[in-house]
Structure 1
Amino acid sequence: MSIPVTTWSLEQTSPADLRPAAESAEGIRIVRSEVPSPEFSRFLYTAVGGDIRWTDRLSWSYEAWREFLSRPGVETWVAYEHGTPAGYVELQAQDEGAVEIVYFGLVPAFRGRRIGGPLLSYGVARAWDLADRWPGRDITKRVWLHTCSLDGEHAMDNYLRRGFRLFDTKVEEQEEVAAPGPWPGAH
């Protein structure tokens, strides 16, 4: 069975566009995962996206994960609540000074706890200063992302509150897939 899925593309074109969220709840730390770890990245991907139908990377091999994570300008920033991974933002530098927020989200148990806004704010700020950490990369001129009607109910509002502007909307029919949960059979 197919279902209509709306995909919205949003962008910021200046660091001044970022409207940071209020401070996060007590006990939140955001740390860059500097060592490429396919195991950890796949854990984050499935833990955050399992209930909202993130499936495009489920078939990736260990080598595919390693290759992607080892690319210059790919960064994973992880929010921890009292030492437990609560969510993440994945950045990917692209040509001509663009940085894509490829993935962003929270583990279901951590949603609704004032972590998403601060994590997104921090991730966007890191997208704007990404060239400082990657010599030879173009200065960031644009930060962009896409979200869709299958994502969390507060995703679009969070992006708009952080200063993103809509630049494209598409509606496509997609085959409906069951939410895989954080591992096969769990949800």
Structure 2
Amino acid sequence: MTEKKTQITTIWYLVMTSPSELIKKPLPDKGFEVRECSEKLFEYNRFLYEFVGRHWEWTDKLSWSEQQWQDYSESENLRTWVLYKSGSPAGYFELQKKSDGVIELAYFGLAKPFIGQGLGGGFLSNAIEEAWSWGASKVQVNTCSLDHPGALANYQARGFQIERTEECA
């Protein structure tokens, strides 16, 4: 009988407490455009979540009903931006405002064909700027060892500080 190994996942909770902490990086190519989804369409949020997240084991919302997706995506406290390249979605981020004014970078990621092109730092800079311009008292994000291997380093390079770390099986 062989024993099944339990994989330990590390989760890092990061915070930025002032806009002056942002270490901005521009997008490397002027052919990219970041646009907010002003019309809230839960089907598009679901598509983006699945499109970007399938490579990083984003599974927490896969079993959601249409009503759960609609309640989440069309909430007044959620805003969504998409990174486009020649009209095609290259990545997205969602900002969620909490009752205490904290804004969480709820989801952030690039579509697989756009990974490795030096877009992460510039796109993340844009997300952080949008959070502060929305009136954040602070900006939070978390990442884990299942995400892109460069995710934690990108967050830290933009000025986020680790607030706490957890390990779970």
The one-letter amino acid paired with 1:110 is: F
Paired position in structure 2 for 1:151:
147
Q: CA deviation at 1:24?
A: 2.6
Moved over 4 A (4+): none
Which TM-score applies when normalising by structure 2? 0.94
Asked if the contact 2:77–2:97 (Cα under 8 Å) also holds between the matched residues in 1, the reply is yes
Aligned partners of 1:146 and 1:46: how far apart in 2?
A: 19
Count of equivalent residues: 165
Aligned partners of 1:22 and 1:71: how far apart in 2?
A: 30
Give the root-mean-square deviation of aligned CA atoms.
1.1
Which TM-score applies when normalising by structure 1? 0.85
Tell me, what secondary structure is at the counterpart of 1:163?
coil
**Structure 1 residue 163 corresponds to structure 2 residue 167:** no
Deviations 1:14-41 (A, max 9, x none): 0111111133323100000111112211
- Kindly report which structure 2 residues correspond to 1:15-164, keeping only aligned pairs within 5 A, or say none: 15-130=19-134, 139-164=135-160
Aligned partners of 2:129 and 2:139: how far apart in 1?
A: 10
Consecutive unaligned residues in structure 2, runs of 5 or more: none
Asked if the contact 1:25–1:113 (Cα under 8 Å) also holds between the matched residues in 2, the reply is no
- Kindly report which structure 2 residues correspond to 1:167-186, keeping only aligned pairs within 5 A, or say none: 167-173=163-169
Q: CA deviation at 1:113?
A: 1.2
Asked if the contact 1:25–1:114 (Cα under 8 Å) also holds between the matched residues in 2, the reply is no
